[in-house]
Amino acid sequence: MTGDPLAGVRVLDLTRLLPGGVLSALLADLGADVVKVEEPTAGDYMRWGEPRIGPESAASWIVGRGKRSVALDLKSPAGVSAFLRLAATVDVVIEGFRPGVVDRLGVGYDAVRAVNPRVVYASLTGYGSDGPLRDVAGHDLNYTAYAGVLGITGTRSGEVAIPGVQVGDLGGGTILGMGILAALVHAARTGAGSRVEVSMYDAALAWTSIHAGAFFASGAATGPGSMPLNGLLPCYNVYRCSDGRYLSVGALEPAFWAAFCGTLGRADLVDRASDPTAVDEVAVALAGRPRDDWVAEFAGVDACVAPVLDLGEALDHPLARARGMVQEGQVAHGSDATARTLGTPIRIDGVVRPIGSPPPALGEHTREVLVAAGLADTEVDGLIASGVAVDRAAPR
């Protein structure tokens, strides 16, 4: 495959913050034309944060790349009318409001389907569009709490820890992306659109699959450090070294564990891979040297041992650049300045995909997108004059 696999796919993105932003950024990375539809005054809340890279927040700079921005007030009838004109021309609409909000605004699935029967209308919700918590506000921490993810994350002493990345947010966005692609294939085959929904709670719960299976089999609810893959076993654990940094050991298979024990100088532990009491013995052994000494010791040993890198080390590691996961990106349109950014993890035919254009200013593409959808310049002038739309076209 050459070129952009989603070239020609047009997306309207009504989402704000991380989950929808990451989802639509992946679609843009694959060649889709993604237009963010934002509230004219403040836009996506991701724009507000610090630190900044060029004119945008660092977070927005990464998840907003490759997109265009239309600033449109959907609380205004004229704004809703303009949005539906846009929606009639696209393949996908993505929204991330609480259930019922888009219907009250007049931009829900039924309204969009009336002007575009082939549309894929995708909703990313917190707890789902039905069920006892449909109207409850939440964030990733809450979704993972209800899903049991927090309850199995933490230390061997039983203390619960917050995961370092947003499991429900990112899982929900990624799984919804799969649903969108499936619905696009269906639309191409049948000419019929679909409504696709993923809740971030559902996504987080779905990712407990191994642990849920164990519970269904045994009926035993377990906590941090009490299961094979969350700290119970010596062969799959994290150990503190003498310099206060950590080493991960993932030697689940017998051959890997034997190689690990041999290199550690503890061949007597080979038969104790499943013995929780051996965790402390391995910990004592690894605590005797700095992390990077152990990394050098295990270099070339097939034992599934890796250093626990802090984020700075991870982003500076040769592996990240070799895989195209750290690239240089243009800071802003019309600027010669560049800065490091994350690449996309998706490769097709082995090709590392270059990152897209820098993130748009709020309302940077309002006029060009609305005119391309069939609105006359005079109509756009009226929307701008009334404050329903904002145009901040940047010089190119």
In a domain, 2, yes or no: no
Q: In terms of domains, do 277 and 371 share one?
A: no
Q: In terms of domains, do 302 and 158 share one?
A: no
Please give the pLDDT value at position 2. Answer: 58
Q: What CATH number has the domain bearing residue 285?
A: 3.30.1540.10
Contact 257, 235 (CB under 8 A): yes
In a domain, 396, yes or no: no
Per-residue pLDDT tens for 60-112? 888 999 999 999 999 999 999 999 999 999 999 999 999 999 999 999 999 99
Q: In terms of domains, do 32 and 179 share one?
A: yes
Q: In terms of domains, do 115 and 176 share one?
A: yes
Give pTM, 2 decimals. Answer: 0.93
Q: In terms of domains, do 198 and 287 share one?
A: no
In a domain, 144, yes or no: yes
Q: In terms of domains, do 33 and 85 share one?
A: yes
Query: Of the candidates 287, 310, 333, which is a domain's last residue?
Result: 310
Range of the structural domain that residue 385 is part of: 10-206+321-390
Per-residue pLDDT of the chain (396 residues; tens, 9 = 90+): 557 899 999 999 999 999 999 999 999 999 999 999 999 998 998 898 899 988 889 988 889 999 999 999 999 999 999 999 999 999 999 999 999 999 999 999 999 999 999 999 999 999 999 999 999 999 999 999 999 999 999 988 889 999 999 999 999 999 999 999 999 999 999 999 999 999 999 999 999 999 999 999 999 878 898 889 999 999 999 999 999 999 999 999 999 999 999 999 999 999 999 999 999 999 999 999 999 999 999 999 999 999 999 999 999 999 999 999 999 988 888 788 888 989 999 998 888 888 888 899 999 999 999 999 999 999 999 999 999 999 988 543
The total number of structural domains that make up the chain? 2
Q: In terms of domains, do 295 and 335 share one?
A: no
Active site residues: 139, 169
Burial (Cβ within 10 Å: 0-12, 13-18, ≥19) of residue 56: buried
Q: In terms of domains, do 45 and 134 share one?
A: yes
Query: CA 129 to CA 135: how far, in whole Å?
Result: 8
Q: Phi and psi for 73 in degrees, rounded to 5?
A: -85, 105
In a domain, 220, yes or no: no
Q: Which helix (H) or strand (E) holds 203?
A: helix 200-206
Q: In terms of domains, do 195 and 343 share one?
A: yes
Share of the chain residues as helix, strand and coil, in percent rounded to the nearest 5: 40, 15, 45
Q: In terms of domains, do 288 and 139 share one?
A: no
Q: In terms of domains, do 29 and 129 share one?
A: yes
Q: In terms of domains, do 63 and 160 share one?
A: yes
Q: Are strands 92-95 and 120-125 parallel, antiparallel or unpaired?
A: parallel
